Structure 1
Amino acid sequence: MNKKKKSLTYSSSGVDTKKGSQLVEEIKPIVKKTNRLGADVELGGFGGIFDIRAIGYNDPLLVSSTDGVGTKLLLAIENNCYENIGIDLVAMCVNDLIVQGAEPLFFLDYFSTGSLSKKIARRVIKSISEGCEEANCALIGGETAEMPDFYNPNHFDLAGFSVGAVEREKLLPRNVVSGDVIIGIPSSGLHSNGYSLVRNIIKNMKLDIHDKTPYDNSKTFLEEFLSPTKIYVKQILQLLKNTEGVKGIAHITGGGLTENIPRIFKGKNITAEIDVLTWEKPKIYKWLYRSGNIKESEMLKTFNYGIGMVLIVDQKKDKEIMNFLSKYGEEPYKIGKIVENKGEGSKVDYV
């Protein structure tokens, strides 16, 4: 006699849609805090809505960005620390918008996991919401994907997507030429790049990341490694609104100063000449440099090395721009200048 086959369900296969629906309801009050003019942050529809006419642009261009937080996420997962990782996700996207002069308008996230933990997801989304609030960027939607067997137990991945707007005539970069001044705005630490190298150093040293750092007894290595990426939106937008002379901006992420600055040259035969002695390096970089026996050239093309944003400005406006940033609470550094490139292509020279 044939045994009756057990009826299979989506839930018995590892996907709990009820739990996903409960999560959406639980995060609605969190997401509501990111509301801004033009946005509809009511979750649950098929798509997020933003009314660009409501914010008063005349001839806007839309600028989009997508990013993740790399293997920094592994450190967060392994240590059950999710309070900053969503801020990192937002920062990596919105900082890429403002370098083109664009005001971030809205953000969407993708959270994928093998088995959904509502508790962890709420903590992550709360952090994303805090990043959106800081950037004045509405969290208008997202996707939570439960994919059994795809991830290791308790692991998940994140991706972010953001859209901003800029008046056509204000789009950056524009007209970068020899003689322009390079200004660096400090980073808040490692931000979200170079973590595969950081994790390799941790492994080789058998480092207990819960130990205090040798340079700051009030902070553990874990706190240092998971400090959030700095969001530059408010100060850059105010700078662009209140001053003239900014010709280009580079967000210093993976590839460091070496690879990110030339991205704004648009193939011009010019070089960024940078003096690496002009800014103070955060102590974590000095520790990594020594502990990993890393060449400075590698530091400069892997990490932000203490400079999170680079501005290319008219040489007649550099003092005005630095003064404005200083009044806004920043500590800008004049780190170099643009010169004619005697060779082919755009590049960075360190002097």
Structure 2
Amino acid sequence: MRSFSDSYRDAGVNIEAGYEGVKLMSAHVKRTMIPGVVSDIGGFGGLFAPDFAGMKEPVLVSGTDGVGTKIRIAQLMDKHDTVGIDCVAMCVNDIICCGAKPLFFLDYIAIGKNEPEKVATLVSGVAEGCVQSGCALIGGETAEHPGMMAADDYDLAGFSVGIVDKAKVIDHNTMVPGDVIIALPSSGIHSNGFSLVRKVFDVEHADLSVYSDELGRTLGEALLEPTRIYVKPVLRCLEAANVKGISHITGGGFFENIPRCLPEGLTAKIDKGAIRTLPIFSMLQSKGNIPEHDMFNTYNMGVGMTVIVAKEDADRAITALDCGAYVIGEIVSGDERVTLC
């Protein structure tokens, strides 16, 4: 007997739509399969058998996050195939900061009305993020929330688990004055500060499809640009150089995120003139009349991640990163944590 419930459907939940969504997303999930995946989607839990070969003390590292109110831009543009990349990026970019390689990812979609095609499109973005970061999508959950969310509304979150040998966890205590700070370019605003973005650009009433000469594309395209995933470049860098610190520049910008890898008594001295700021940030600052400090305390300003290495390792690290990385500052003695000069 097939599974259905007319009573539940009358209450606003269509379980058959959920089954159809799983069927439609299966092809996307298959793209992410890597060695270690034991189970297929549809079970009560995702199974993964990690390879501990060559590790003396394997340590699991986990990270969880969501896309935030950037999702509203996707809803206004009716474009749902990229926010899944953001969801994965916000998790895997965090766990790579301690040197861990992501193994698998699970997502959670809460939606007002379960439209199988839309859910499958959302998952296609999640799968693409997993492919970019080399991890497997081994499960997830879609929850229909009638009466709590509008029919077209949804939210997307998830978490990732990675692994690192304890001896290879990045040791921040090796950092000394004279070490250099390398910037890994961002693709745009990524997934932070969108409450302010939406206010400044009045996105509920703006025409996001209008082409901007300053941006070289429409405002909507610039705002919806997916978060860049740094896993593979950083893994290459970890093999090539002695990395002393990594920071994912997310919410809180430079002032909150860079100090998270700095030992006491050291300051990150950033050369503002060296930063390759993207046009979207200049437009946002100008239109919103936002103070410079607030911009650097909210947004990545074109720097999605920083890597700290010894000065003599800088060229080797930049070559290994192979993503347009460049030096933006150095570590100095002091208690200010971050200075922009």
TM range, normalised to the smaller chain? Answer: over 0.9
SS in 1 for 2:140: strand
Query: How far apart are residue 22 of structure 1 and its match?
Result: 2.1
Counterpart residue number, 1:141: 139
Letter in 2 for 1:159: A
Determine whether 1:249 maps to 2:241: no
Query: How far apart are residue 165 of structure 1 and its match?
Result: 0.4
Rounded to whole Å, the distance in 1 between the matches of 2:22 and 2:208 is 34
Rounded to whole Å, the distance in 2 between the matches of 1:12 and 1:25 is 23
Counterpart residue number, 1:185: 184
Q: Do 2:233 and 2:320's aligned partners in 1 also have CA atoms closer than 8 Å?
A: no
Determine whether 1:348 maps to 2:341: no
- The structure 2 residue matched to 1:114, chosen from 112, 115, 132, is 112
Q: Gaps (5+ residues) in structure 1?
A: 1-6
Counterpart residue number, 1:38: 36
SS in 1 for 2:10: coil
- The structure 2 residue matched to 1:105, chosen from 98, 103, 106, is 103
Counterpart residue number, 1:239: 237
SS in 2 for 1:145: strand
SS in 2 for 1:222: helix
Determine whether 1:338 maps to 2:335: no
Letter in 1 for 2:318: M
Q: Do 2:32 and 2:137's aligned partners in 1 also have CA atoms closer than 8 Å?
A: yes
SS in 2 for 1:53: coil
Letter in 1 for 2:329: G
Name the TM-score, length of structure 1 as normaliser. Answer: 0.91
Query: How far apart are residue 64 of structure 1 and its match?
Result: 0.2
- The structure 1 residue matched to 2:298, chosen from 280, 295, 302, is 302
Identity %: 43
Larger radius of gyration: 1
Query: How far apart are residue 265 of structure 1 and its match?
Result: 2.1
SS in 1 for 2:300: coil
Rounded to whole Å, the distance in 2 between the matches of 1:300 and 1:33 is 37
Counterpart residue number, 2:201: 202
Query: How far apart are residue 8 of structure 1 and its match?
Result: 8.1
Query: How far apart are residue 156 of structure 1 and its match?
Result: 0.7
Query: How far apart are residue 245 of structure 1 and its match?
Result: 2.0
Q: Deviations over 1:291-324 (max 9, x none)?
A: 1111111110111001011011112212222233
SS in 1 for 2:311: coil
Structure 1 vs Structure 2 CA RMSD = 1.9
Q: Residues 214 and 293 (structure 1 numbering): CA distance in 2 closer, same or farther, change over 3 Å?
A: farther
Query: How far apart are residue 162 of structure 1 and its match?
Result: 0.2
Rounded to whole Å, the distance in 1 between the matches of 2:75 and 2:245 is 36
Counterpart residue number, 1:289: 285
**Residues 213-228 of structure 1 mapped to structure 2, 5 A cutoff:** 213-217=212-216, 219-228=217-226
Q: Deviations over 1:210-239 (max 9, x none)?
A: 11113144x111111111110111111111
Query: How far apart are residue 173 of structure 1 and its match?
Result: 4.0
Q: Deviations over 1:233-264 (max 9, x none)?
A: 111111112x1221010000111111100111
Letter in 2 for 1:290: S
Determine whether 1:265 maps to 2:262: yes
Rounded to whole Å, the distance in 2 between the matches of 1:160 and 1:205 is 27
Query: How far apart are residue 55 of structure 1 and its match?
Result: 6.2
Q: Do 1:32 and 1:41's aligned partners in 2 also have CA atoms closer than 8 Å?
A: no
Rounded to whole Å, the distance in 2 between the matches of 1:8 and 1:133 is 38
Rounded to whole Å, the distance in 1 between the matches of 2:289 and 2:144 is 41
Q: Do 1:82 and 1:124's aligned partners in 2 also have CA atoms closer than 8 Å?
A: yes
Q: Deviations over 1:187-226 (max 9, x none)?
A: 1111111111111111199532111113144x11111111
SS in 2 for 1:66: strand
Query: How far apart are residue 54 of structure 1 and its match?
Result: 6.5
Query: How far apart are residue 27 of structure 1 and its match?
Result: 1.6
Rounded to whole Å, the distance in 2 between the matches of 1:147 and 1:204 is 25
Query: How far apart are residue 283 of structure 1 and its match?
Result: 1.0
Rounded to whole Å, the distance in 1 between the matches of 2:144 and 2:91 is 24
Letter in 2 for 1:201: V
Rounded to whole Å, the distance in 2 between the matches of 1:54 and 1:311 is 26
Rounded to whole Å, the distance in 2 between the matches of 1:205 and 1:19 is 30
Query: How far apart are residue 134 of structure 1 and its match?
Result: 1.1
Determine whether 1:321 maps to 2:317: yes
Query: How far apart are residue 41 of structure 1 and its match?
Result: 4.8
